[in-house]
Amino acid sequence: MAKGAIITDEVEVLIASIHKKHPKWKAPEVRNTVGSMLHASNSKISPDWPSLSTVQKVMARLRKKEKEPTTDPEEKQFCLATLNQYPIPPETLATVLAVWKSTIELDGEFTIRQAKWVSRLSGLIAAGFLKDTKELSSQAIYYSNLELYHMMLDADLDTTILDILLMKPNNMNEKIKSFPSIFEKFKNPEPDDEMPLDYDVMVD
């Protein structure tokens, strides 16, 4: 990939995920990490891409967004009373409660956004795409974080890569193109990762 290539949404989201995980890092540190991850996923991508100026511009947007008052109601803690404003299909409620219960037992947080994604993905256990509620919980976090990163960038949400990783079609590598290994890490973060973009590929 040429050094001057246009930065993609996936790369901007990767920058956002690393910035979120390491908020004290400066642009050169973020750029070096992004470049290393992209090059590791595809040797044709130069380790010097994206440029430092590109990363600086993305981080400036992120920091500007971070200084704005937090008004996103879906980042509030979920409880049954929030269903008055943010309803979910009644048939998914038991699964949402099961995931919420396990989160409480792990001293974790469970937001309205996470409950929304648990509800949306809950039928995938019976369909065979997910093993159990633990895996469902992880997937809901991936989608929730991905949605947050796009909001931080004022970008339209695109979940295509996560969707493909979730479905695992036979031609998955062809569909994901340049970013399969990055997105695999996103979905399978290290223990200290909040969530790599916990995207099979990103780093929280």
pLDDT of 65: 83
pLDDT of 64: 87
pLDDT of 2: 44
pLDDT of 3: 46
Instruction: Give domain limits for the chain.
Output: 1-204
Using CA atoms, how far apart are residues 86 and 200, in angstroms rounded to an integer?
27
pLDDT of 39: 82
pLDDT of 76: 94
The DSSP result for 166-187, as a single string, is: HH--TTHHHHHTT-HHHHHHHH
* Torsion angle of C-alpha atoms 126, 112, 141, 118, degrees rounded to 10: 0
pLDDT of 51: 92
pLDDT of 176: 56
pLDDT of 10: 80
CA angle 140-142-146, nearest 5°? 115
Using CA atoms, how far apart are residues 66 and 60, in angstroms rounded to an integer?
10
Low-confidence ranges of the chain (pLDDT < 50): 1-3, 178-204
Q: Quote the pTM value.
A: 0.73
CA distances from 105 to 48, 87, 100, 133, 144 (A): 43, 24, 9, 14, 20
pLDDT of 190: 41
From 12, 34, 143, select the one nearest 135 (Cα to Cα): 143
